[in-house]
Each structure stands twice: as structure tokens, then as C-alpha cells.
Amino acid sequence: MAQEFQKRGLKLIMDQVPNHSSDQHEWFKKSVQRIDPYTDYFVWRDAKGYDQDGKPIPPSNWIAVFGGSSWEWNEQRGQFYLHQFVIEQPDLNFENIEVRNEVLAIFKFWLDAGSKPGKADGKIRCMMVEAGVPPEAVKDYYGTKDKPVSHFPFNFNLLRVTPEQNASEVLGMVNAWYDAVPEGQWATFLLGNHDQKRVPTRWTEGSIDGANMINLLLQGTAVTYNGEEIGMTDLFLTWEETVDPKACNTDPERVLGFSRVPSESSGSFGFLVLVNLSEDSLTVNATVFDGVPLTGTVRTRSVGFHVPGTVIGGSINTRAVELGPRDSIVVEFNPLY
């Protein structure tokens, strides 16, 4: 076939997708049966636990490209397998050197057969730089065609907008950045981040929709900080209500003077980490801690956990958490706030 291609001046270019195989492929069938060397040719994981109906719980909340969980339970093997696309396309385990060698051998086979170097789908990466430089210095952070530095540096110009400025001044700030971006490069815009007061607080509460429109509709990549899409404002918190780790490491007299209010959400989980550093068994009443309810869900536990019946994904009585010598456990709960 390759010779006939050459006679006709044709080139065979292979479009490879080495991410996965078919679930009907011999490798996968043998992996299901744990037949070596195929046992770990795919990404297999144990269930995180079991729900009230006895159904296995996926190892994570990852979503497949086409919707639904990225994990599918295989009854025969008793584990979940990863599929980033459809159920019928299980992901290969490229952490396994034998899988990498197999895929390279496949590429070599087709090259030896006369195929020209083709393309393989890969992960798209973007290099961003948080430099905080004025527009006139921005070109240095893009680099040149021969020596690229980043795809784009963050543009903090709109962070400096004040309520006193008019539309012409804001337009001037936008154009100053456009003028500084080297030809053929891409601009970026952002309104806020965790180091600044939130937009409605810095500007006015009625300004957030207009600010978002500017940010999202300008030519370039829009970067948003969580909460901007719903118009979050700065929130006064008492010291007792502070949950941000950086603020918690200060004190009421030296609390940070900028916005680090977490994104608003409903039903945010709490996590309780209990570690027994002694050689004795003990029972902990975790409800003495603020916000801990009477029951929780076991999310993980130490290897060789001593207390029988403590199942990952199962319910646990937080009033009496049993820990054996050197045991540790992580419990998830809905806070009583």
C-alpha cells in the first residue's frame, strides 16, 4: 500500500488518539480479568464507598467531556475505570511504562509502514504571567517569536479604575494596553482578584453589570474572580467568623485590609480531621467543635485503620468517633451554621 501511495504521489498521515482504546479491545478485556501484563493498562480505582442502595460511589466527581461521570463501574473486576470521553472508550494508564512502550511501538509500526508523521491530540496549555507591569513594559513578558516567554501577562489596568474616572479615561486605559501588546499577540483583561476589594465596593454597587460587560466583551481573554458574576460585595465578618487561612494566621488587630471573602455558595461542606498520635485507643466527641453535626460521612482513613465497620463513604456518629493507636480519619459534614 505504501508503495502504491508513493507511485501516485500520495502521503498517508495518521491521526492518532492515544488517550484511550475501545472497551472491546483485547487489552481492556484482559485488564478486566487482571491478566498480566494488561492488569494496569487502564486507570482503575476502588469505589469511594457505597450509597444507601448499596451502589458503588465513584472515586471522584470528575465529569466526562460528553457529560455524566468520568468513572464507570465494572462488575467483573469490582472497580471503576476512567473514561474522559464515552463509556466505551476507557483511558489508557500512561503512568504504566509498558503502556507508553506499547503506544510508541504502534507509532513506529505505522512510520515503518510508510506513514508520514501525523498528529496526536494533546492537552492544550496556556502560560500566563502575573507580573503587574505598566503597559510600556508588557512586551517583555510576551517575548518574541524566537524566544517566547508567555501567552499573555495579566492586565491589571482595570483594577486601577476608580469611581471618579469617566468613560474616556477608562477607554484610555484599555487602549493603552492594546497599544502595548505586540503584533500577533493576545490581550487579557480582569476586574478583580483576591488581593483587591470587590468591584461593587471599589466602584459602586450598580456598576458590576457594566464592568462585567466591559471585561467579557473586549477583544481578548477575560479573567474573572469568583463571585463577580453575581455582583458580590465586600462583607463585614467578625473575627470569630473568619475562615480564610491567611487572615486566620494574623489577629484581630492585624487582620488583612483587602477582600478575601470566599465565593458565595450553598451547602458548602465542612471537613473534620482527627489524628490519634498515641499508642492507646480513644473515643472523640467531635460535636464539641463549632458547627459539627451529630453525623458525618467518612471520606478517607489511614491504612490499617483499627476500628471495624468504619467504611469510606459510610456514615459515622460524630459524638463517638473511635480511633485505634495511630489511626487518622477525615469526616465530611454539613456545618450547623
Residues 132 and 111 in one domain: no
Residues 193 and 217 in one domain: yes
In this predicted model, what pLDDT tens digit does every residue of 20-40 receive, in sequence order? 999 999 999 999 999 999 999
261 occurs within a structural domain: no
Give 273's pLDDT tier (boundaries 50, 70, 90). confident
Rounded mean pLDDT, 129-139: 81
Residues 176 and 206 in one domain: yes
CATH number of the domain at 93, please: 3.90.400.10
Cα(130)–Cα(319) distance, rounded to whole angstroms? 46
- Find the range with the poorest average confidence among 114-118, 183-187, 322-326: 114-118
Greatest C-alpha distance within the chain: 82
- Find the range with the poorest average confidence among 272-276, 304-308, 309-313: 272-276
Total domains in the chain come to: 3
pLDDT of 166 reads: 81
Known catalytic membership, residue 91: no
pLDDT of 237 reads: 66
Residue 78 pLDDT exceeds 80: yes
Q: If you search the block for the grid coordinates 499573555, which residue do you land on? A: 152
3-state SS record for the chain: CHHHHHHCCCCCEEEECCCECCCCCHHHHHHHCCCCCCCCCECEECCCEECCCCCEECCCCCECCCCCECEEEECCCCEEEECCCCCCCCEECCCCHHHHHHHHHHHHHHHHCCCEEEEECCCCCCCEECCCCCHHHCHHHHECCCCECCCEECCCHHHHCCCCCCHHHHHHHHHHHHHHCCCCCCCEEECCCCCCCCHHHHCCHHHHHHHHHHHHHCCCEEECCCCHHHCCCCCCCCHHHCCCHHHHCCCCCCCCCCCCCCCCCCCCCEEEEEECCCCCCEEECHHHCCCCCCEEEEEEECCCCCCCCCCCCCEEECCCEEECCCCEEEEEECCCC
Provide the whole-model pTM: 0.42
Joined together, the cell numbers standing for residue 27 give: 487489552
Residue 254 pLDDT exceeds 50: no
* HSE of 156, CA atoms in CB hemisphere, 13 A: 13
Rounded mean pLDDT, 119-130: 71
Residues 102 and 193 in one domain: no
Average pLDDT score, the chain: 84
pLDDT of 122 reads: 62
Residue from 88, 121, 136, 290 carrying the catalytic annotation: 121
In this predicted model, what pLDDT tens digit does every residue of 162-179 receive, in sequence order? 888 888 888 899 999 999
- Is residue 81 a contact partner of residue 9, using CB atoms and an 8 Å limit? no
Give 91's pLDDT tier (boundaries 50, 70, 90). very high
Residues 97 and 166 in one domain: no
7 occurs within a structural domain: no
Residues 137 and 111 in one domain: no
In this predicted model, what pLDDT tens digit does every residue of 47-71 receive, in sequence order? 999 999 999 999 999 999 888 899 9
Tell me which of 120, 153, 177 is where a domain ends.
120
Tell me which of 179, 208, 230 is where a domain ends.
230
181 occurs within a structural domain: yes
Residue 259 pLDDT exceeds 50: no
Which one is predicted more confidently, 125 or 180? Answer: 180
Residues 160 and 114 in one domain: no
- Find the range with the poorest average confidence among 74-78, 84-88, 110-114, 297-301: 110-114
CATH number of the domain at 299, please: 2.60.40.1180
Known catalytic membership, residue 327: no
Residues 98 and 24 in one domain: yes
Residue from 88, 98, 130, 209 carrying the catalytic annotation: 130
253 occurs within a structural domain: no
* HSE of 110, CA atoms in CB hemisphere, 13 A: 16
Tell me which of 214, 230, 246 is where a domain ends.
230
Phi, psi of 104 (to 5 degrees): -65, -35
- Domain range for 160: 128-230
Give 260's pLDDT tier (boundaries 50, 70, 90). very low
Residues 138 and 91 in one domain: no
- Find the range with the poorest average confidence among 84-88, 248-252, 315-319: 248-252
Joined together, the cell numbers standing for residue 298 give: 467518612
Residues 148 and 207 in one domain: yes
168 occurs within a structural domain: yes
pLDDT of 243 reads: 64
Residues 116 and 134 in one domain: no
Residues 28 and 115 in one domain: yes
- Is residue 16 a contact partner of residue 22, using CB atoms and an 8 Å limit? no
Rounded mean pLDDT, 205-230: 83
